[in-house]
């Protein structure tokens, strides 16, 4: 069992460093609106309504909705650093990126979610959705959704403890995070689809991911 307290301290340090760096104008870090912890839809209703949604109204998402979706995928829910989704050994090998096309108050670009501090870090400017859709074998919903999440795996965080078995743990975790995100979308009156068919290398290049961040899922989300 790792010591989540030391991890949270490290997370806070990383978040503070990111804010300090952004103050120097190197890149932008945005504090997201706090996520709500209650909602009008029961889990049973969200489960029974969830369906892969591949066509979206041409309407931007609100920043509050984006905040809630990111929190559902990987948000911190415990002072010890534990999150909305379970993680083998609490090693948290997933990174959530979001390609923003149309979100009120956020310019189009690629952003990375920092669970510590519930922050969004701008990684690159410009709308990545068209290129992502091409990398996803031309699937139009990747181009047309106002936002496309990317769940990426940093396998080493888990395999250094669990060896080869860690690979399956990380992939299971991506499923947990994706399902949380999909159910949260339903609870917000939104919808999404989990996309696994894409060229890994192309997605990595389009998003400019570090070499040890491996995309597992693309999840376009929008309004039905």
Ligand X SMILES: Cc1cc2nc3c(=O)[nH]c(=O)nc-3n(C[C@H](O)[C@H](O)[C@H](O)COP(=O)(O)O)c2cc1C
Residues of this chain that bind ligand X (CB under 6 A): 51-52, 54, 139, 193-197
| Residue 194 beta carbon to ligand X: minimum distance, rounded to whole angstroms | 5
| Residue 200 beta carbon to ligand X: minimum distance, rounded to whole angstroms | 13
| Residue 220 beta carbon to ligand X: minimum distance, rounded to whole angstroms | 9
Nearer to ligand X, 5 or 52 (CB): 52
Strand-pairing partners, residue 119, are 31, 114
**CB contact at 8 A, 192 and 200:** no
| Residue 72 beta carbon to ligand X: minimum distance, rounded to whole angstroms | 17
Nearer to ligand X, 42 or 48 (CB): 48
Task: Name, in order, each residue with C-beta under 8 angstroms of 220's C-beta and a sequence gap of 6 or more.
Answer: 54, 56, 141, 142, 144, 145, 147, 148, 149, 192, 193, 195
Tokens representing residue 38 in the block: 């209650």
Nearer to ligand X, 138 or 163 (CB): 138
Nearer to ligand X, 100 or 195 (CB): 195
| Residue 175 beta carbon to ligand X: minimum distance, rounded to whole angstroms | 8
| Residue 54 beta carbon to ligand X: minimum distance, rounded to whole angstroms | 6
Cα dihedral sign, 1-77-95-30? negative
Neighbouring CB atoms inside 10 A of 40's CB total 7
Residue 197 burial class via C-beta count within 10 angstroms: exposed 0-12, middle 13-18, buried 19 and up: exposed
Picking from 54, 205, 216, the residue whose alpha carbon sits closest to that of residue 150 is: 216
Nearer to ligand X, 121 or 173 (CB): 173
Tokens representing residue 53 in the block: 């949604």
Angle CA 191–193–196, to nearest 5: 165
Nearer to ligand X, 54 or 176 (CB): 54
Picking from 102, 81, 110, the residue whose alpha carbon sits closest to that of residue 207 is: 110
Q: Which residue is nearest to ligand X (CB)?
A: 196
């Amino acid at each position: 069992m790792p010591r989540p307290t030391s991890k949270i301290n490290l997370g806070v340090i990383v978040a503070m460093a990111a804010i300090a760096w952004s103050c120097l104008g190197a890149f932008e870090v945005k504090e997201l609106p706090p996520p709500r912890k209650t909602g009008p839809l029961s889990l049973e209703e969200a489960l029974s309504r969830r369906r892969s949604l591949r066509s979206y109204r041409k309407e931007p998402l609100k920043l509050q909705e984006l905040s809630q979706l990111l929190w559902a995928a990987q948000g911190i829910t415990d002072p010890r650093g534990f999150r909305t989704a379970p993680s083998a050994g609490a090693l948290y090998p997933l990174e959530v990126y979001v390609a923003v096309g149309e979100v009120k108050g956020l310019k189009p670009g690629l952003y990375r979610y920092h669970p510590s501090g519930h922050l969004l870090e701008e990684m690159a400017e410009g709308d990545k959705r068209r290129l992502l859709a091409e990398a996803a074998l031309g699937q139009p919903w990747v181009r047309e959704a106002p936002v496309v999440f990317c769940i990426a795996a940093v396998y080493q965080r888990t395999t250094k403890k669990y060896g080869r078995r860690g690979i399956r743990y990380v992939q299971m975790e991506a499923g947990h995070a994706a399902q949380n995100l999909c159910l949260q979308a339903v609870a917000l009156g939104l919808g999404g689809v989990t996309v696994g068919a894409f060229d890994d290398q192309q997605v990595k290049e389009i998003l400019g991911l570090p070499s040890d961040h491996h995309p597992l899922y693309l999840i376009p989300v929008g309004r039905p």
